[in-house]
Amino acid sequence: MRKLVEHGFLDTELNDQLGNICDVIPHAREIARLGKEQKINGETWRFLDRSLNATNQYVGWHIGELYREGTYGKIHKAFRMVVQKRSDGLFDVKESPHEVVVKLTMPPTGSKVLPGEDVTAHTSEALLHVLAWKAMQETATPWAIPRPYEVYGDYATVEEPGTKGWRSMSLCMSYVRGRTLHSFLQKHWNPDTRKANTRIFVEVLAQVAYILYHLQRRMQLNHRDVKVNNILVRPRLEPVLLEIGSDLFLTNYEVTLIDFGFACVGCPPPKTPMTVFQAGSWFPFGELCCKVGRDLAQLIFCIHCYFPLSDYLTPAMATAVRSWMAIPWNGGTADGLHGFTKEGRPRRTGSGGHPEYNTGVYEFLRRPDVDPTACDPHTIFKECARLHLNEKAADSAKNEH
């Protein structure tokens, strides 16, 4: 069994196969709590009110500027420090302040404490983030998930109506220096450089497929929110070899997947009636989402909404993408590149207007009769490896002549 106390889960244990994940949804009382504010060198710091290990070390944070803000929380740049309590009651610095990111969940406007469902959603997201990171440490892309440090909360004990409870919940993680995929493509893609665009597309897509393959194989995890702003990309100094079975892919980028606020895992039988462990509350509780192609289908559609793929990719790559996005549905085939109504109905072939990225793709992919099997991560990885190899062979032959 593995304990997760070092990540702020005070009484959560998982077996090595993660087979009991549906039994360990963390309760609020099991989350580490912040102590009082204190000034250090003129800055406000708050440390946990207890040590998370046997060495009497305490973790604390100084919260900085707002980095990003979403529907379900705020992300701040922050500094994290670890101190150790001495026998004389003073503290020695064990880890100097270093830059991190803190995802903060606050009460709805007008409320003083978080509703119980928001606390559960946050702690579940944090647990899935921790487990996803642990799973990827055993692969060739340990950078695939930002390193999670601690989940913790600010708990109010005032005995007045509406004032006792969690004032906020936070997840501290490493700060990843990279561009969002949207920003990265804006900088590097040009309709006049289709061959270079295609190389970038194949390298990024292959690595996302590699990450999703391992998360599904290890945890049966669907991210359910893979889009251009939830992927960070940065170049590597040295290429890295990715391998799935006999398929190999050499890439010059590091790709990181963020924001597990919609993620879920499908638990193996006979975990009934609890068949799903999920974060957030947007999806109905208990909705099984173990569709292997769901996340990549959503990502490809999202890229296409902002960068029409037929305008940016080579004809061969655009043809391959169209075949992946031909999704069986309703006794026929839906073209996953034409777009969807907000209710999740595919737009008809030839319908006017550019596809918009909206809730329609989420609604469509959640349908029980929709399964984009052609976007299975292993299949996409294999196809990317083949296309990449063929392109390199063509370049080599061209240079020889």
For residues 206-232, give the mean pLDDT.
95
At residue 303, φ and ψ (nearest 5 deg) are -60, -45
Name the residue ranges covered by the structural domains of the chain.
2-174, 179-400
| Residue whose C-alpha is closest to residue 22's, from 211, 215, 217, 288 | 288
Residue 397 is predicted with a pLDDT of: 44
3-class secondary structure, 156: strand
Residue 45 neighbours by CB under 8 Å, 6+ apart:
37, 38, 39, 60, 61, 62, 81
- Smallest CA-to-CA distance from 229 within 143, 297, 303 is with 303
| pLDDT for residue 1 is more than 60 | no
Q: Where are the beta strands (DSSP E) in 56-212?
A: 57-70, 73-85, 91-105, 148-157, 164-174, 179-180
Encode pLDDT of 132-177 as tens digits. 999 999 899 999 999 999 999 999 876 666 678 899 999 999 999 9
pLDDT tens digit sequence for 162-172: 678 899 999 99
pLDDT at residue 361 tops 90: yes
Closest CA to 312 of 228, 201, 394: 201
**Other CB atoms within 10 Å distance of the CB of residue 117:** 11
Per-residue pLDDT at 401 exceeds 50? no
**CATH fold of 2-174, please?**
Phosphorylase Kinase; domain 1 (3.30.200)
pTM above 0.75, yes or no: yes
